[in-house]
Structure 1
Amino acid sequence: MTAYSAAMIHGGYSTLEMRLAAVQAVSSSGLPIGHVAKAYGTDRTTVFRWIKRYAQHGDIGLHRQAGSGRPRKLREMDNQRFWDLVLQPATHYGYETDLWTVGRVHQVVQETLKVVISKDTIWRRLREAGLTYQQPERHYFQADDKEREKWIDQQLPKIRETVRKYRAIVYFQDEANVSLTPCLGKTWAPRGKTPKSEVTGARGGIAPLSAISRRRSLLFTLYEKRIASEEVIHFLAQMLRHYRHRHLVVLMDNAKPHTSNTTMAFIDSQPRLHVFNFPTYSPDWNPDEKVWNHLKHHERKSHKATTKAELKELTNRKLNGMAREPHLVRGLFFRCCVADFFG
């Protein structure tokens, strides 16, 4: 069992909201500029520039500034029209999926306005309109809004009362499957020549279990088989041993290993352990999901492990590294909306 923490990770093109959040993280929360720069995928100089512009002009100083040059095309299409376009599903224009690409926007604009423009112009205008190319968050259509509201009205007060009564530490728990097949990132290569990354064709993986708290702490254990009630009980017992004199409130989903008779019997036998379950289909409410997302897309991207032993050593090292960065853990925690319930 290991204990630790983290910060906010973001990359790519900065939005106004990101620039404001970065400035406030330094000026209001007192976070080090270096940590803030790392969390938002930029450098210290950029954050210093944002702070200076904010000090001189307030929120307006953080807006994108228009450049000089020849008169632009598409003057008749203002930023709001770009918003109106991309906030509609692309299927409304005959495409097979809802997602917009620069190519699709380019085609629709040319056909609508009867103009000939470059894709670079569309790319620039989208950015100037405050729109960025992002991977959508999963929205679980099976999620029951009424059940979520009921949870907030009935379960949340019980959780808060338990925390207050026992001065309990709150943890959010989840598990994942870490595969030998890596998640490949991007790299530079000659145009028209797709780069190749050597990976193993072997199947298999490991199953980590972790828990994250707003106290900048990350606990985890690695298992070599699929998570079942036995592993959940073992992990909860480790948490209790880690905090020998404290009550723990643990929030987890409704997966079968969490709600089986065996697991519930163990929970009922532990007076210092108080477990609550999220509403069904609510992984977006669990901050620990952010841990696995960060591990997959940042720490383990394009890994070279070829055996389960190598994968286990790599995952253990990466999770330990994440846990040793309190600002990273804190950032991962507060990227989840449910964190506001326990602020």
Structure 2
Amino acid sequence: MCFKLFTQRFDSAVMLDFLRRLIRQCTHKVFLIVDGHPVHRAKAVHQWLEKHQDRIRLFFLPAYSPELNPDELLNHDVKANAVGQQRARNSSEMMANLRSYLRSTQRQPHVVQNLCLRETRCLRSRLVCSLFNALGSNGSIRFHKQTPICYARKA
């Protein structure tokens, strides 16, 4: 699971920073599933992706389909467990709580995988299965917290 916490407005500069970090961390091509947020479709992002098409490719979810987005359950989990259980006194404490919770989740990939595999989200599971079928049997799945992003890559 990869994530980026930020306090500024989510714009193409934030997205591009995340994408740069993402391909720097991955040795194989990244297949990134995103929703229809305007930043994901921004011209600057599109141009950057064209220059790095050998390292990363975006797939867009259909409009108005949060049930296909695995990050929605992760968002709920973070809100309930990182933010809801420990009330922060200020924004820096809240960021520290979020970072700590997300890092602990990174060390437990089965927790993130379980969010994807819940039977109540069969449409989302079908989407992930379709992606893995496209990748072949040696795929792995990763999630990005902060923007609705999930990506899978070949191992």
* TM bin (shorter chain): 0.7 to 0.9
Whole-angstrom distance in 2 between the partners of 1:242 and 1:288: 20
Aligned to 2:146: none
Aligned to 1:314: 97
Match of 1:327 among 103, 110, 123: 110
Aligned to 2:30: 248
Aligned to 2:41: 259
8 A contact 1:267–1:273 mirrored in 2: yes
Whole-angstrom distance in 2 between the partners of 1:331 and 1:238: 25
Aligned length: 125
Higher strand residue share: 2
Aligned to 2:126: 340
Q: CA RMSD in A?
A: 1.4
Higher helix residue share: 2
TM value normalised by structure 1: 0.35
Task: Give the 5 Å matches for 1:33-112.
Answer: none
Go from structure 1 to structure 2 and tell me whether the alpha carbon gap of 1:237 and 1:228 turns closer, same or farther (over 3 Å shift): same
Q: Which is bigger in relative contact order (C-alpha 8 A, separation at least 6)? A: 2
Q: Which has the larger radius of gyration?
A: 1
Whole-angstrom distance in 2 between the partners of 1:253 and 1:280: 7
Structure 2 segments unaligned to the other structure (5+ residues): 130-155
8 A contact 1:287–1:334 mirrored in 2: no
Match of 2:76 among 288, 293, 303: 293
Secondary structure of residue in 2 paired with 1:223: coil
Q: Deviations over 1:58-117 (max 9, x none)?
A: xxxxxxxxxxxxxxxxxxxxxxxxxxxxxxxxxxxxxxxxxxxxxxxxxxxxxxxxxxxx
Question: Equivalent pairs: percent with the same residue?
Answer: 23
2:128 partner letter? F
Whole-angstrom distance in 2 between the partners of 1:339 and 1:238: 27
Whole-angstrom distance in 1 between the partners of 2:114 and 2:13: 31
Whole-angstrom distance in 2 between the partners of 1:237 and 1:228: 14
Q: Deviations over 1:188-237 (max 9, x none)?
A: xxxxxxxxxxxxxxxxxxxxxxxxxxxxxx11111111211111111111
Structure 1 segments unaligned to the other structure (5+ residues): 1-217
* Runs of 4 or more consecutive aligned structure 1 residues displaced over 2 Å after TM superposition: 339-343
TM value normalised by structure 2: 0.75
